[in-house]
Amino acid sequence: MGSAGTFERVDAAAEVIRRHCGDVPKAALVLGSGLGDFADTLAGAVTMPYAELPHWPASKVVGHAGRLVIGTVAGKRVAALAGRVHAYEGHPLSTVAFAARVMGRLGVKEIVLTNAAGGVNTGFTRGALMIIDDHINLLGANPLAGENDDRFGPRFPDMTEVYSKRLRRIADEAAVAKGLAVTHGVYAGLLGPSYETPAEIRYLRTIGADAVGMSTVPEAIAARHMGLEVLGLSCITNMAAGVPLEPFNHDDVLETTRRVRGTFIALLEGIVERL
């Protein structure tokens, strides 16, 4: 999806969603690997498969359902995106950021980006929930590269506060109210699809990363480019390579997200309630 015509494609998808959803949702939640069950909790839901939305890229990764659900939770109208596409599937980052841009054009002001991540911080355990304070972009590219369209945002957007302090505070308050333990950290975004080597994990820990994954960063950059407030949440589904030294695979990721489903949904409900 090149830069020419990107705005028009984004606008076309937003217009179709607007015609079907009624009231525009205040917030959007992008649900990562195995975390899409939250979409099933929305009341009065309108469901749109990605395949029925113009220009919308379809994910082929297990654990990403590929549907947009708009409904109500905790008295707030939200859009839940069950599934996303990744650069490792062969998509340029402008395509990876497409859904976040559509949410911005739809009128959403706050976006919650969730993911399944590997724990780099040795103090983490499987199933921990991490509020993202900042990220390190190691994807080798940026979704804003190429010709800038000023209708999305400025050529050189500031990234001093990618992840909103206000929304992070809300997430902490929601966790306390629900009696849930959360931690904070820095998320490193890598291309994938291979998991990291032990040497790479040692490098990531040295440069300040607490968790590592293959998503979120392009969406966060594109959302900030458009002026959206961003909150990032990682479910630590496995300890990264060398922590300890034992193999793991995508099934382990999905098993962990199934185990923490109730906790994760409770945290999201508490956050949405406070938006």
- Convert the pLDDT of each residue in 186-216 to its tens digit: 999 999 999 999 999 999 999 999 999 999 9
User: Which residues participate in catalysis according to the annotation?
Assistant: 33, 64, 86, 88-89, 116, 214-215, 238, 250
For residue 26, is it within any domain?
Answer: yes
For residue 172, is it within any domain?
Answer: yes
For residue 144, is it within any domain?
Answer: yes
Beta strands, E only, 120-180: 129-138
For residue 230, is it within any domain?
Answer: yes
Give me the percent of the chain exceeding a pLDDT of 90: 78
Dist CA 125 CA 236 (whole Å): 7
- pTM, 2 dp: 0.93
How confident is residue 249, by pLDDT bands cut at 50, 70 and 90? low
Between 124-133, 170-179, 200-209, 246-255, the lowest mean confidence (pLDDT) is in 246-255
For residue 1, is it within any domain?
Answer: no
Domain limits for position 269? 6-274
- Is residue 241 pLDDT above 80, yes or no? no
Residues 96-114 have a mean pLDDT of 97
**Token couple for 268:** 């999201």
Task: Determine how β-strand 76-82 pairs with β-strand 27-31.
Answer: parallel
- CATH number of the domain within which 116 lies: 3.40.50.1580
**Residue 155: CB atoms within 10 Å:** 10
Contact predicate 59/89, CB 8 Å: yes
Give me the percent of the chain exceeding a pLDDT of 70: 92
For residue 76, is it within any domain?
Answer: yes
Residues 126-135 have a mean pLDDT of 96
Helices (H) and strands (E) counted in the chain, each on its own, are 8, 9
For residue 212, is it within any domain?
Answer: yes
Residues 256-269 have a mean pLDDT of 87
Report CA torsion sign: 123, 124, 130, 135: positive
Count the domains in the chain: 1
Residues 18-38 have a mean pLDDT of 87
For residue 115, is it within any domain?
Answer: yes
- Is residue 244 pLDDT above 70, yes or no? no
